[in-house]
Structure 1
Amino acid sequence: MHIYSFEKLEVWKEAIKLAVNTYNYTKSFPKEEEFGLISQMRRSSVSVSSNIAEGTARLTNKDKAHFMTIAYSSTLELLNQAIISKELQFISEENYKSIRLEVESITNKINALRNHFLNA
């Protein structure tokens, strides 16, 4: 089985974990949030790894860097939604801190990857 280049990236692997964790955290949200925060958080979290993967397939480094910027933005969008969820007491302080630590690690790696593409 062929392994694509994005599958070898540590940041992509972390982004997959972030998406899985986000799905798990949002399982306990109120039912009325199914089309609100649950949907938004899940889409944001999936967007991170998806844009990293798509970016690696682009031909120019400028294009690759652009997709890393989108992935970075999706990560911050998820953090914003996690903050709102914490304020609404939909997620625990512990889960919020976990998301925040994951976001910090992923954004640092995405930024480094983006800079690599811009300076290559």
Structure 2
Amino acid sequence: MGTVSSHKDLLVWQKSVSLASRIYAATAALPSDERYGLSTQMRRAAVSVASNIAEGAGRSSRGEYIQFLNVARGSLSELETQILIAGNLQLIDKNLGLDESASEIGKMLTSLIQRLRERRELAARR
């Protein structure tokens, strides 16, 4: 694993920003009655994922970082549910791969959280 000097160096953050941008594009064409419903919820959840990764990375303790990554994971779970609902209602194209991207980000977040917990435990033993 290379040196990370900023949240911008994290692949999971980069993929989260990309997913948020894709969510904005996918929801732009939603019917007007959904603009302030599902569309807004999806956009907020998507932005929350990347934002919480960034905020956690900027915190001074590993514990705080893990806490913000868990919040990001929660927002991602919301977004995955919303993507499924929007797809089932045929409001967004299921072939956009949004669910696959969200799943990949989820695995990356889980892995990062686990690595940070292991490092925290190692540091506590010293």
Answer yes or no: same fold by TM over 0.5. yes
Match of 2:110 in 1: 111
What is the alpha-carbon distance in structure 1 between the residues aligned to residue 23 and residue 94 of structure 2?
14
2:17 matched to 1:16?
yes
Q: Could you tell me the percent identity over the aligned residues?
A: 33
Query: SS of the counterpart of 1:116?
Result: helix
What is the alpha-carbon distance in structure 1 between the residues aligned to residue 8 and residue 66 of structure 2?
17
What is the alpha-carbon distance in structure 2 between the residues aligned to residue 100 and residue 33 of structure 1?
20
What is the alpha-carbon distance in structure 2 between the residues aligned to residue 107 and residue 91 of structure 1?
21
2:16 and 2:46 in contact (8 A); partners too: yes
Q: TM-score, normalization: structure 2? A: 0.88
Match of 2:90 in 1: 89
Number of paired residues?
Answer: 116
| Structure 1: segments with no counterpart, 5+ residues | none
Q: TM-score, normalization: structure 1? A: 0.92
CA shift, 1:110, in A, is 0.8
What is the alpha-carbon distance in structure 2 between the residues aligned to residue 101 and residue 88 of structure 1?
18
For 2:19, give the aligned amino acid: L
Q: Pick the structure with greater CA Rg.
A: 2
- The runs of 4+ residues in structure 1 deviating greater than 3 Å are none
Kindly report the root-mean-square deviation, in angstroms, between the aligned alpha carbons of the 2 structures: 1.3
Q: Deviations over 1:29-81 (max 9, x none)?
A: 11111110010000000000000000001111111111111111111111100
What is the alpha-carbon distance in structure 2 between the residues aligned to residue 53 and residue 92 of structure 1?
29
Worse overlay, 74-83 or 86-95: 86-95
CA shift, 1:93, in A, is 2.3
